[in-house]
Chain A
Amino acid sequence: MESRIPPLTTSQSSIQQPGTSAPDFTLNATPDQLLSLKDYLGKPFILAFYPADFSPVCGDEMTLYNEILPEFRRYKAEILGISVDGPWCHLAFSKDRNLHFPLLSDFEPKGEVARKYGAYDAKKGICERALFVIDENGIIRWSYLSPIGVNPGAEGVLDALETMNSSFLKQEQELESRQRVAEEKNGSSNR
């Protein structure tokens, strides 16, 4: 599937659909740090493609997700932003908005990863506004292409995370409750 040449134009149906494996990527998160898909396997995560750093509204998409981070983390989910901006630009943007999650640079070859996800606007040379919720096994569980001028917000992502009822989350909860029981036992036997 990854060898298929991605289409040049996108529509809702052209982005990678639920049930498919998330295309692999290795991109700069900072000028000297690379992040790959495999770094995120084992937990649910969100890939948020967006057109450009420094969009001129204070409630922009990345700023909003930054604020909602604790909600994503309630589902043990991480989020990654992706645009074609270079790592130095990301660094400046991230600092300016006080962002607490990584921004990936789909910079060289430009838009290669976005193309794989069907989320590249080749005419404008920028990423579309597209969201992917990927499970702990690297399978896309929800995807959404937003009109480029409309910030999609987070409701769809949170709905997806909620309905995924991911085995990862279940396992974590079971582990936590087992640990609690063990701790309680230890506590009572020490008394």
Chain B
Amino acid sequence: MNPETSKLRLDIDSNRDHIQGSDTAVVTLLEYGDYECPYCGQAYPIIKQIQNSFGEDLRFAFRNFPITQSHPHAQNAAEAAESAGSQNKFWEMHDYLYEHQQALDDIHLEKYARELRLDLNKFNQDMSEHIYLPRVKEDFLSGVRSGVNGTPCFYIDGIRYDDSWDIETFTERLRNIVNSKRSDTIG
């Protein structure tokens, strides 16, 4: 009930979620993001840096939170990433979309699918029939009920992170958590 301690209400599940890193990682970072949101675009290289510096200590998951009323291409971009996911290329498309945020219209989405060598027939069918709309909606609603309050919105081990996600602040927080969990296991 208290948004200051917002907790994730849909646990990360390797059967449904897109995850990088191991189940045995010390800390789990989840992002609710929108492919057309410029702030998510700014966070994208920061997450990459964090993943690099934490290595196997960090597990990273991504869920969709398209703000469709402000970002007209965000919904279809999210569906495109999910469709790529069905061809085992979720992260390739996820990265490609954030690296090409300025062009996310349907023509470009198809172009990216081609460049990633997806089965284009399947991709186009997924897109025209909005096969992954329910999945994107499920992500969105899980975020709403978990207290997502804008994009990007991060959860560290299931607790909403309200601090700045600049590289220094974010790294320091994660480092502290990793260290304290490590000393707990040792102690």
- Is B115 part of the binding interface, using a Cβ–Cβ cutoff of 8 Å? no
Who on chain A is nearest to B137 by CB? A70
Interface residues on B, range: 20 to 34
Are B162's CB and A150's CB within 8 A?
Answer: yes
Neighbouring A residues of B67 by C-beta, 8 Å: 58-59, 63-64, 67
Contact B144 A154 (CB under 8 A): yes
| B175 in contact (CB, < 8 A) | no
Of the candidate stretches B1-9, B54-62, B95-103, B166-174, the one touching chain A is: B1-9
The interface residues of chain A lying within 8 Å CB-to-CB of B4 are 146-147, 150
Q: Complex Cα distance A63/B65, Å?
A: 13
Query: For A63, what are the chain B residues with a Cβ–Cβ distance below 8 Å?
Result: 67, 69-70, 150
Given contacts A58-B38, A146-B3, A152-B3, contact A158 B145 (CB under 8 A): yes
Flag if B3 contacts A144 (CB, 8 Å): yes
Are A150 and B149 in contact, with the CB atoms below 8 A?
yes
Q: B69 near A158 (CB under 8 angstroms)?
A: no
Q: Decide if A58 touches B145 in the complex (CB within 8 Å).
A: no
Let me know if B149 and A58 touch, CB within 8 A: no
Min Cβ gap A53→B in Å is: 15
- Interface residues of A, count at CB 8 A: 28
Chain B residues within 8 Å of A99, by CB: 69
Interface residues of A in 146-171 (CB under 8 A from B): 146-147, 150-156, 158-160
Distance in angstroms between the alpha carbons of A82 and B113 in the assembled complex: 44
Residues of A contacting B149 in the complex (Cβ-Cβ under 8 angstroms): 59, 61, 64, 150-153
Question: Any chain B CB within 8 A of the CB of A68?
Answer: yes
Chain A positions within 8 Å of B, measured between CB atoms, are 57-61, 63-64, 66-68, 71, 97-100, 144, 146-147, 150-156, 158-160
Can you show 27 pairs from A to B with CB atoms below 8 A apart?
A57-B39, A57-B150, A58-B37, A58-B67, A58-B70, A59-B39, A60-B150, A61-B149, A61-B150, A63-B150, A68-B144, A97-B69, A98-B70, A144-B2, A144-B3, A146-B4, A150-B162, A151-B149, A153-B6, A155-B6, A155-B145, A155-B146, A155-B147, A156-B1, A156-B2, A156-B3, A158-B144
- Across the A-B interface, give the 4 residue pairs with the lowest CB-CB distance, nearest first: A59-B150, A153-B149, A151-B149, A152-B3
